[in-house]
Chain A
Amino acid sequence: MILPVVAVCVVLLAAAGVLALVRAERGPSMLDRSVALDILTSTLVAAVALEAAWAQRTDSLPVLVALALVGFVGSVTIARFAAVEPEGEGRVLTREEIAALETARAERAEEELRRVDDEHHGGGATGEVKQ
């Protein structure tokens, strides 16, 4: 009698987990992700409870207690260190964007090197010149 009920519950919980993962992937901010992971933990607790109800077993109850206790630590920690994120920071960069950032960084490093080199090898005396 309980099998069809459990089947429906499993489908609902699995869908809930997938939707929470979708929100965790989309973001857009770190806090949205932490809320999504909170929901995912609660869904996990519900799934463990469902399995215990189906098999009528009691040995997985400590798992429920532990998950209910530590589930919120993640969100509170992330909330404590939340910072203002620039627009577009909260997404995964595409390959081209990473390449562009890398070239810009290489150019900056090159520039730096050239400046230092000029000073050391026959460049103008730009520092203190004692007469």
Chain B
Amino acid sequence: MSVAAWETVLDVLASVCLLGGSALTFAAAVGLVRFPDLLARTHVAAKPQVLGLILMLLGLALRLRTSAVLWVLVLVALFQMLTSPVAAHMVSRAGFRTGKVRHDLLVVDELTRDMEAAEEEIRRREERPGSPT
């Protein structure tokens, strides 16, 4: 294939990636408005948003076609994958502790179970003050 044909193929691939990334970003924003509680909204910020951004960066790399640029974009994607779970975890934990989670919507609720078990343990120890702690 000639160089021009290759460039067309890469441009088409880049277009597909850019379209997919934009669609995922839009889907994340729609979820942000429509989802009922804080945990569902942090899910939106952590998953579809990051995949959409990575697709956008892939499209950009396919369009620029330079190796130096590629590493910068890999770095951006890496930072995003490092920081967004941290942010989502911190927000979810703070939301859980300040009572902004709707417990009727949860399918699995391990934290409440563990906290109740811990409270039970503390109560048991207070009842037997002589026991080693």
Contacts and interface: CB of A to CB of B under 8 A. Distances in A.
Interface string B10-53: 01101100110111011011101100001001101100011011
Chief secondary structure at chain A's binding surface:
helix
A85 B94 CA distance: 12
Interface string A18-45: 1110110000010110111011001101
Interface in B42-73: 42, 44-45, 49-50, 52-53, 56-57, 59-60, 63-64, 66, 69, 72-73
Nearest to A64: B76
A2 B11 contact: yes
Given A35-B41, A45-B53, A75-B90, A85 B15 contact: no
Nearest to B15: A5
A80 B90 contact: yes
Contacts of A12: 22-23, 25-26
Contacts of A17: 29
Interface string B73-84: 101100110011
B22 A50 contact: yes
Nearest to A74: B87
17 contacts: A1-B12, A16-B29, A16-B30, A31-B95, A31-B98, A31-B100, A32-B100, A36-B32, A38-B84, A38-B87, A39-B45, A45-B80, A46-B22, A61-B76, A71-B83, A72-B83, A78-B91
Interface of A: 1-2, 5-6, 8-9, 12-13, 15-20, 22-23, 29, 31-32, 34-36, 38-39, 42-43, 45-46, 49-50, 52-53, 56, 58, 61, 64-65, 68-69, 71-72, 75-76, 78-80, 82-85
Given A5-B19, A50-B18, A53-B59, 16 more contacts: A1-B15, A12-B22, A17-B29, A19-B32, A35-B42, A36-B41, A39-B44, A42-B28, A42-B45, A43-B25, A46-B52, A46-B53, A53-B60, A64-B72, A79-B91, A80-B90
